[in-house]
């Protein structure tokens, strides 16, 4: 058995006016709970340090950049790194990254038990739109504020296993899990900010969104025989509700821990990384069963190509 006790540190809403320092203080409290429950690894949400700012249209790039971090750790997040290292707990969390050469990414990092950043992932499947859309009841401007990630879907040997990361919308795409699955991933962390309603379709509310959340996470875990730890930032931010429903899913696709609240809440599960072996050696033994000669379209085309019309 290779058991990692993992804490999913769901976070309630962060309002526009909340400072990074106040948010980090909340994250440290969640770390305190994780320490009391003897966690080895704590997973925080996407864009954990701020409100979900892509819902706001900002024509002024200088204002946009105020939501980004130019270095990590920085003065605001240093207490989080120090506390995690003092507790000997690894962690992952998401933030908006502004690189020294001016690139903007929606980023997640993996930090080992000593407080060292050992992995970085930049979100690849950016949802939403580029321009202000007056038909929507609220905006989702990730495609405006971020560039698609440029690091692929790497995995890392860390915490005694093989770990990978993805971010929010990535969880809806089977390619995300499979690219990591093909590198033997044993545990995937992901954070999300998912609006509770669809700004373009009234009929799609929180129940359906929670269903899609579970469906994507459970199938990704099962089909790649990996643990998945999915953690929300949730509740109502500046009048905009987001789903909660943080989950830990085992390599059989079963939910083993699930958040009950829409607020700061730690969910915990013992994740035996050896539990990934059975699936990887049987029904999802990729080497024996995948038929890559028939998968060319997966990388050759993005959109749908319809069959010819019947004549
Ligand atoms: N942050 C993020 O990627 N949110 C998207 C919203 C898409 S609308 C369902 C998500 O996939 O949850």
Instruction: Give a yes or no: residue 282 inside a domain.
Output: yes
Instruction: Compute, in angstroms, the gap from residue 167 CA to the centroid of ligand 1.
Output: 9
Angle at 128 between CA 125 and CA 132, to 5 degrees: 145
Tokens (6 digits) for 4: 């990692």
Instruction: Answer yes or no: 281 catalytic.
Output: no
Tokens (6 digits) for 179: 């690219």
pLDDT computed for residue 179 by the predictor = 98
Give the position, in ligand 1's atom list, of the atom nearest the Cα of 52: 1
Catalytic residue among 39, 83, 97, 123: 123
Q: Is 216 in the pocket of ligand 1 (CB under 6 A)?
A: no
- The number of residues making up the chain comes to 311
Instruction: Give a yes or no: residue 69 inside a domain.
Output: yes
Q: Candidates 168, 199, 203: which one to mutate for ligand 1, based on the most atoms within 8 Å of Cβ?
A: 168
CATH of residue 232's domain is 3.60.110.10
pLDDT computed for residue 234 by the predictor = 98
Q: What is the C-alpha to C-alpha distance for residues 259 and 216, in angstroms, rounded to an integer?
A: 17
pLDDT computed for residue 200 by the predictor = 81
Q: How many domains does the chain have?
A: 1
Is 0.85 topped by the overall pTM?
yes
The boundaries of the domain holding residue 14 are 3-300
Instruction: Compute, in angstroms, the gap from residue 102 CA to the centroid of ligand 1.
Output: 25
Instruction: Give a yes or no: residue 40 inside a domain.
Output: yes
What is the dihedral sign for C-alpha 9, 12, 16, 22? negative
pLDDT computed for residue 137 by the predictor = 85
pLDDT computed for residue 283 by the predictor = 98
Q: Tell me the percentage of the chain whose pLDDT exceeds 90.
A: 96
In the predicted structure, residue 103 carries a pLDDT above the cut 90: yes
Q: Is 174 in the pocket of ligand 1 (CB under 6 A)?
A: no
pLDDT computed for residue 153 by the predictor = 98
Residue 247: Cβ-neighbour burial (10 angstroms; 0-12, 13-18, 19+): buried
Summarize pLDDT for 166-214 with one digit per residue, the tens: 999 999 999 999 999 999 999 999 999 999 998 888 888 899 999 999 9
Instruction: Give a yes or no: residue 241 inside a domain.
Output: yes
Instruction: Answer yes or no: 46 catalytic.
Output: yes
Summarize pLDDT for 235-288 with one digit per residue, the tens: 999 999 999 999 999 999 999 999 999 999 999 999 999 999 999 999 999 999
Summarize pLDDT for 15-59 with one digit per residue, the tens: 999 999 999 999 999 999 999 999 999 999 999 999 999 999 999
pLDDT computed for residue 201 by the predictor = 82
On whether the CB atoms of residues 126 and 106 are closer than 8 A, the answer is yes
Q: Is 108 in the pocket of ligand 1 (CB under 6 A)?
A: no
Instruction: Give a yes or no: residue 311 inside a domain.
Output: no
Q: Is 206 in the pocket of ligand 1 (CB under 6 A)?
A: no
Instruction: Compute, in angstroms, the gap from residue 294 CA to the centroid of ligand 1.
Output: 30
Instruction: Give a yes or no: residue 217 inside a domain.
Output: yes
**Scanning the structure block, which residue is given the tokens 């949730």?**
234
Instruction: Answer yes or no: 271 catalytic.
Output: no
Instruction: Give a yes or no: residue 222 inside a domain.
Output: yes
Instruction: Give a yes or no: residue 310 inside a domain.
Output: no
């Amino acid at each position: 058995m290779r058991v990692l006790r993992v804490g999913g540190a769901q976070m309630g809403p962060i309002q526009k006016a909340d400072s990074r320092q106040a948010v980090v203080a909340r994250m440290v409290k969640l770390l305190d709970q994780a320490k009391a429950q003897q966690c080895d690894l704590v997973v925080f949400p996407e864009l954990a340090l701020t409100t979900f700012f892509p819902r706001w249209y900002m024509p002024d790039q200088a204002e946009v950049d105020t939501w980004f971090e130019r270095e990590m750790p920085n003065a605001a997040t240093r207490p989080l790194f120090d506390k995690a290292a003092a507790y000997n707990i690894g962690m992952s969390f998401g933030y908006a990254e502004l690189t020294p050469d001016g690139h903007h990414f929606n980023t997640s990092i993996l930090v080992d038990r000593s407080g060292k950043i050992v992995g970085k992932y930049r979100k690849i499947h950016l949802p939403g739109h580029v321009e202000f859309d007056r038909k929507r009841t609220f905006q989702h401007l990730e495609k405006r504020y971020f560039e698609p990630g440029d690091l692929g879907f790497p995995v890392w040997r860390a915490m005694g296993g093989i770990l990978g990361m993805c971010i929010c919308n990535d969880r809806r795409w089977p390619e995300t899990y499979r690219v990591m699955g093909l590198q033997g991933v044993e545990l995937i962390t992901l954070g999300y900010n998912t609006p509770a309603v669809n700004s373009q379709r009234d009929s799609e509310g929180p129940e359906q969104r929670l269903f899609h959340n579970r469906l994507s996470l459970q199938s990704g875990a099962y089909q790649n025989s990996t643990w998945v730890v999915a953690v929300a930032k949730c509740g109502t931010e500046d009048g905009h509700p987001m789903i909660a429903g943080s989950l830990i899913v085992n390599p059989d696709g079963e939910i083993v821990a699930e958040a009950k609240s829409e607020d700061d809440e730690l969910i915990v599960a013992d994740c035996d990384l050896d539990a990934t072996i059975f699936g990887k050696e049987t029904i999802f033994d990729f080497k024996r069963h995948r038929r890559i000669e028939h998968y060319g379209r997966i990388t050759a085309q993005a959109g749908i190509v319809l069959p010819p019309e019947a004549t």
